[in-house]
Amino acid sequence: MPVLPSACPLDCPDHCSLDVTVEAGKVVRVEDRAANPVTDGFICGKVRRIARHLYGEDRLRYPGIRTGKKGEGRFRRVSWDEALDHVAAKFSAIRARSGGLAILPYYYGGSNGALTQDSTDARLFAYPDYEEAAMIIVWGQNPSASSIHLVPIIRRALDKGARLVVVDPRRTPLAKLAHRHLAVRPGGDLVLALAMARWLFVNGRADEAFLAEHATGVGQFRERAMPWTPEAAAAVTGISAADIEATAAEYAEASPAVIRCGWGLERNRNGGSAVASVIALPAVAGKFGLRGGGYTLSNSAAWKLSPSVDDAEQGGRVINMNNLGE
Ligand code: SF4
């Protein structure tokens, strides 16, 4: 049976290489492919069994046009030609009536914005770089479930002496391994990040030269951070003032230090601001410029270095994805 080289198509940070065994035109087995050092001999169970999804009874295989109300689940099966004509006619009518901006080309990718997802982070940081870090902060992510190849790399970094801090309301497997687990109350990440930024500013640990040369909006960020004394932040986050101060001090001292910012914090109130504040910390503390330092989100785009912040399309409107379909 032919075994074809492939890559995982799922929206996962690890971007595994796969060996796909095909029989009579059908996928019969999916295994890890040795060529990719990050895949490193294992893949997750959901992709190992992906043939069940490919050929599953419930899979959508044909286009359908809704015949009932939304949510009723009533559709009329149509040909692809009819479906595409239907969509094109709707697009044309909407555009003629309200202009092109009335059509939202929605694709999922989180609400992190162009700066954080698969752009700057993917350009500047790849999995092997974690092993160079003296301090790793995993903030709002559970790699043991959603980025499994990062776990052995973090373990190797720990073996080399790295400090590990996990910020997560839950006691995740990595939180159990961490030197410090900050069990932030859900929704408290923004305040925690601002409190750490404040500590850096007021204790003379902000890299003012770096900020002056490379950052914008520093004055406003500092202003927002100032009310969040460790005590004020403790009341909101559920983390003691002493732990907040100790974490900020350790972070200021460690070099290289990296923040792995996950998706947990953005799924909450102030989520966008929380992510923006967390990934501002390496700029405030001057953690860029060293291998193993800075921040990273997903690494799935680390393999193709073509997209850039400069390429991001400008303009358009802001739409809350929670309101889609209303
Ligand atoms: S770990 Fe992620 S990239 Fe690897 S096979 Fe599973 S979903 Fe795909």
ipTM of the predicted structure? 0.99
pLDDT in tens, the chain (326 residues): 899 999 887 777 787 899 999 999 999 999 999 888 888 889 999 899 999 988 998 888 899 999 999 889 899 999 999 999 999 999 999 999 998 888 876 655 543 344 444 544 555 567 888 999 999 999 999 999 988 999 999 999 999 999 999 999 999 999 999 999 999 999 999 999 999 999 999 999 999 999 999 999 999 999 999 999 999 999 999 999 999 999 999 999 999 999 999 888 888 888 889 999 999 999 999 999 899 999 887 655 544 444 444 444 455 677 776 677 77
Query: Which numbered atom of ligand 1 lies nearest the CA of 39?
Result: 4
pLDDT, residue 125, reads: 66
- Using DSSP's 3-state secondary structure scheme, residue 171 falls into coil
CA dihedral 148, 249, 201, 254 (to 10 degrees): -60
Nearest CA-CA partner of 252 in 183, 215, 177, 202? 202
pLDDT, residue 34, reads: 85
209 and 260 Cβ atoms separated by less than 8 Å:
no
Structure tokens at 210: 């770096």
Mutate to test the pocket of ligand 1, among 10, 46, 50 (most ligand atoms within 8 A of CB): 10
Q: Tell me which CATH code domain 3-54 carries.
A: 2.20.25
Query: Which numbered atom of ligand 1 lies nearest the CA of 32?
Result: 5
Please state the domain extents for the chain. 3-54, 64-102, 120-296
Between the CA of 260 and the centroid of ligand 1 the distance, in Å, is 18
Using CB atoms within 10 A of its CB, is residue 177 exposed (0-12), middle (13-18) or buried (19+)? middle
Using CB atoms within 10 A of its CB, is residue 5 exposed (0-12), middle (13-18) or buried (19+)? exposed
pLDDT, residue 298, reads: 62
Between the CA of 80 and the centroid of ligand 1 the distance, in Å, is 31
Mutate to test the pocket of ligand 1, among 31, 39, 43 (most ligand atoms within 8 A of CB): 43
pLDDT, residue 110, reads: 40
Nearest CA to ligand 1 atom 5: 43
Pocket residues: Cβ below 6 A from ligand 1: 8, 10, 12, 14-16, 43-44, 47, 148
Nearest CA to ligand 1 atom 8: 8
Query: Which numbered atom of ligand 1 lies nearest the CA of 12?
Result: 2
Domain 120-296 of CATH type 3.40.50.261: no
pLDDT, residue 106, reads: 64
Between the CA of 137 and the centroid of ligand 1 the distance, in Å, is 22
